[in-house]
Chains A and B, each alone.
Chain A
Amino acid sequence: DAGITQSPRHKVTETGTPVTLRCHQTENHRYMYWYRQDPGHGLRLIHYSYGVKDTDKGEVSDGYSVSRSKTEDFLLTLESATSSQTSVYFCAIMDGEADTQYFGPGTRLTVL
């Protein structure tokens, strides 16, 4: 599982509230990613990070911000959650040696 954990694993929140999801890795990988997955769809990239304090936008970044203050943690924040952000969120790391992305177990977020 490449030492990736996500927290919380499940969250229910109300529209307009801020939400922060955490991705934690134990193997000092430089690249980390946040994806979302909606029913009937593949994963879509939200944001990614290529080092501490170095982040960039993905395909569906509107309404999301990220922060990476240390190598092991990559945080995804919904400043003001909306119902359209109800989704399953997956974090991933890039294992440079294996040239492969590995994914965390996911966080199921419901915005009422």
Chain B
Amino acid sequence: DAKTTQPTSMDCAEGRAANLPCNHSTISGNEYVYWYRQIHSQGPQYIIHGLKNNETNEMASLIITEDRKSSTLILPHATLRDTAVYYCIVRNEGNMLTFGGGTRLMVKP
């Protein structure tokens, strides 16, 4: 399974864009990139996923590089409620999600 590398923690000012990077240099051609977040003690919350093209939904945007070796999750206007651990996951063909350590995003007023 392709592994992902994320920074351990990041800070972001409230109202600014939060850009969370993820490296997945061993990703194969048919593996999707998924992003989830987990707010303290709650179940992981799905954010967005993509294969090759950039994706946007009501929560976030996902930018995937052309070589697919890295991606960035963008929260366009971070709020205090976006403080959470964000997981970047490469999903294998068996639909399994392998969670790493994630990035702890702290949104500050």
Using a CB–CB cutoff of 8 Å, the interface residues on chain A facing chain B are 31, 35, 40-45, 48, 58-59, 88, 90, 94, 99-106
Please report the C-alpha to C-alpha distance between residue A45 and residue B87 in the assembled complex, in whole angstroms.
15
Known: A31-B95, A41-B101, A43-B99. A99 touches B49 (CB 8 A): yes
Q: Contacts A41-B101, A45-B96, A106-B41 given: A101-B46 contact, CB under 8 Å?
A: yes
Point out the residue from B34, B43, B45, B102 that lies within 8 Å of A106, measured CB to CB: B43
Interface residues of B, Cβ cutoff 8 Å to A: 32, 34, 41-46, 49, 87, 95-102
User: What separation, in Å, do the CA atoms of A100 and B91 have in the docked complex?
Assistant: 10
Partner of A103, one of B44, B98, B100: B44
Say whether B46 contacts A42, CB under 8 Å.
Answer: no
Q: Give chain B's interface secondary structure class.
A: loop
- Distance in angstroms from A50 CB to nearest chain B CB is 9
CA distance A43 to B43 in the complex (A): 10
- Cα separation A66 to B108 with both chains bound (whole Å): 42
Instruction: State whether A42 touches B102 (Cβ < 8 A).
Output: yes
Cβ-defined contact, A90 with B49, below 8 A: no
Ranked nearest first, the 5 interchain pairs of A and B with the lowest CB-CB distance are A42-B99, A103-B43, A43-B99, A103-B44, A105-B43
Q: List chain B residues, Cβ under 8 A from A104.
A: 43
Interface centre among A88, A100, A106, by most B CB within 10 Å? Answer: A100
Residues of A within 8 A of B99 (CB): 35, 41-44
Expressed in whole angstroms, the minimum distance between the Cβ of A59 and any Cβ of chain B is 8
Known A-B contacts A42-B87, A42-B102; the reply to A101 vs B41 at CB < 8 A is: no
Partner of B42, one of A58, A94, A105: A105
**Beyond A42-B87, A42-B100, A94-B95, is A100–B44 a contact (Cβ under 8 Å)?**
no
CA distance A97 to B41 in the complex (A): 28
Are A42's CB and B43's CB within 8 A? no
Docked-complex contact B45 and A103, CB < 8 angstroms:
yes
Sample 6 A-B pairs with CB under 8 A, ordered by A number. Answer: A35-B99, A42-B98, A42-B100, A43-B97, A88-B41, A99-B49
